[in-house]
């Protein structure tokens, strides 16, 4: 049994990762600050599901009280929930001083392109400073293996497709993308100076069960379900490489195994599908699942939004056998099935 620290382990991707690590018999230390980007109860449900807790959790309406109760409910030999902020070195130090951590999977971040334009200082504080704190506490405590979540947004409006890890990514078009590029540079710096073996994982538009409620597929599903008007930015021709959560988790676990086997390692790796779907086709797929036509309001493209994302995944395949299995129609069906069984409010 190994001990893995997962930052952001109460979120969409993090909770699925924790669930799989626990299923493999490992110990998981989940650091999450339960910020107010969306309802904290969503993350509580994620944790109860990922730890397979059947405790009949009753929400008091007091966030601090609910989180204290959650910690008590899920605490076990295999799982520890730490409510902490990666911007606090004291809080991180307390965790790393009390655990013998074998590797870190760093997923915690302020996510989203459009909000980063409105509050770039917050994004710099969490994504860059917070990541630097993680690297510093790893250095201090001798943890030399980590994975870090980057993003397809670092490619900007790259004209060459599919996007390769060898492409130049110096032309970010949002503060969010710029912070993710900065994290890649910090990762290389700590690899060079302190011999921390590193894989930076560029995720391409992840979707599926437990997807964050602020993301397009989840928002569109809710609007369709309630017969509300969907807002479509642009003419619907923008394209995304949508990656199902099960494939992303398989990729993370493959990368984790690889970084643990290798020495003197720094790699940047795409995790996508090598396929693209237009925004219009995404809406059509949801219409088919719900059996109704969407009411669509069209608005101009938003600043910071890229025209397309499209992953070359050959490097991930070569390094650790990454081979996404879920086609878009199947993934959307799984998501909608989950959504229908998990409506809240």
Measure the CA dihedral 326/283/13/222, to 10°. -130
Provide φ and ψ at 181, rounded to 5°: -65, -40
Chain centroid to Cα 9, Å, comes to: 9
Provide φ and ψ at 59, rounded to 5°: -80, 130
CA angle at 221 for the pair 290 and 331, rounded to the nearest 5°: 80
**Residue length of the chain:** 345
| Residue from 176, 266, 310, 322 carrying the catalytic annotation | 176
Instruction: Find, among 272, 284, 218, the residue nearest to 245 by Cα.
Output: 272
Please state, in angstroms and rounded to a whole number, the distance separating the CA atoms of residues 150 and 319.
Answer: 18
- Whether the CB-CB separation of 188 and 265 falls below 8 Å is answered with no
In three-state secondary structure terms, 30 is strand
Q: Is 4 a catalytic residue?
A: no
Measure the CA dihedral 242/247/253/258, to 10°. -80
Instruction: Find, among 78, 81, 108, the residue nearest to 12 by Cα.
Output: 108
Which residues are identified as catalytic? 176
């Amino acid at each position: 049994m190994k001990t893995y620290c997962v930052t952001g382990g109460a979120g969409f991707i993090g909770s699925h990762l924790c669930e799989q690590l626990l299923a493999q018999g490992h110990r998981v230390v989940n650091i999450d600050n339960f910020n107010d980007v969306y309802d904290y109860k969503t993350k509580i449900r994620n944790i109860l599901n990922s730890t397979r807790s059947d405790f009949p959790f009753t929400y008091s309406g007091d966030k601090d009280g609910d989180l204290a109760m959650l910690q008590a409910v899920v605490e076990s030999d295999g799982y520890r929930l730490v409510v902490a902020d990666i911007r606090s070195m004291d809080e991180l130090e307390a965790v790393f001083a009390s655990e013998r951590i074998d590797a870190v999977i760093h997923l915690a971040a302020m996510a989203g392109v459009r909000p980063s334009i409105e509050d770039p200082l917050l994004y710099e504080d969490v994504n860059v400073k917070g990541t630097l704190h993680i690297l510093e506490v790893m250095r201090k405590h001798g943890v030399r293996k980590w994975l870090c979540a980057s993003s397809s947004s670092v490619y900007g409006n790259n004209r060459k497709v599919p996007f390769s890890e060898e492409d130049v990514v110096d032309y970010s078009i949002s503060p969010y993308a710029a912070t993710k590029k900065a994290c890649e540079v910090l990762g290389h710096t700590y690899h060079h100076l302190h011999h921390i073996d590193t894989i930076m994982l560029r995720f391409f538009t992840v979707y599926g069960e437990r997807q964050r409620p602020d993301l397009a597929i989840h928002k569109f599903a809710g609007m369709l379900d309630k017969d509300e008007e969907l807002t479509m930015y642009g003419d619907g021709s923008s394209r995304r490489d949508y990656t199902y959560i099960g494939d992303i988790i398989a990729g993370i676990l493959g990368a984790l195994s690889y970084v643990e086997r290798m020495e003197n390692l720094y790699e940047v790796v795409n995790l996508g599908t090598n396929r693209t779907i237009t925004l219009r086709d995404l809406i059509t797929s949801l219409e088919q699942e719900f059996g109704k036509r969407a009411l669509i309001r069209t608005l101009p493209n938003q600043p910071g939004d890229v025209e397309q994302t499209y992953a070359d995944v050959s490097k991930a395949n070569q390094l650790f056998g990454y081979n996404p299995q879920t086609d878009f129609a199947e993934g959307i069906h799984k998501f909608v099935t989950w959504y229908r069984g998990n409506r809240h409010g």
